[in-house]
Structure formats: C-alpha cells, structure tokens
Amino acid sequence: MLRIRDPRELAAGLFLVLVAALALVFSDHLPIGRLVNMGPGYVPRALAWILGGLGVIVLLRGFTADAPRDAPPVTEWAWRPLLALTAAILVFAFLLERAGLVICIIVTVAVSGL
C-alpha cells in the first residue's frame, strides 16, 4: 500500500496535473498543425503536456520523498490572497482595452495589494 510521505508535494502535483488537464480540454478546438507549420494549438498543448509530466513527477515525490523535518504542516488555504490575486488578474483582463495600460496597471497593483 502506498503511503503519503509529503502531502504538500502530493497536493502540488495534483494541482499541476489538474491545470494541465484543463489546458488540454480548453485547447481541444484549436488546430495543432505540424512542427514545421504550427497551428494556434501547438504551443498550448505542448506546454500542457510538459506541465502534466512535471505534475506527475511532483506527485510521485509525494509518495517517495520524506517531508523535511522543519516543514510547516499542511493547513487550510489562505483565501484572501488567492481571491485578491484572482481579482487582480480579472481586473487587468477587463480594463486593458477599456482604460489603457497605465490606468490598468495602477488599478491592478492596487487590487493585488489587498
């Protein structure tokens, strides 16, 4: 039976594999093309496969490598910084064309500082 030795590595690996799977699903409609004639889906798919492979490596380290003795335990998520950074990315995406780059950067920095 497999024993989880480092739950932080396991969680990080699962997150990377999940992001890679989502990238593959969302880039499914883009034509890939060939190496000499790349389509718009070539690079996103290649990066998703690389990210998924690294996620599997990190995931396996959760079962094989012991956690450092001074590592903090896995606790609950810090929701405030996660939501503030997500909001900053969304503000940047929505304001860039409407308000211009300078105002967009100022508002994005202010929101991410929350």
The reported pLDDT for the residue numbered 6 is 85
Return the exposure string of 56-77: e unless at least 16 CB atoms fall within 10 Å of the residue's CB, then b.
eebbebbeeeebeeeeeeeeee
Which residue positions in the chain have pLDDT lower than 50? none
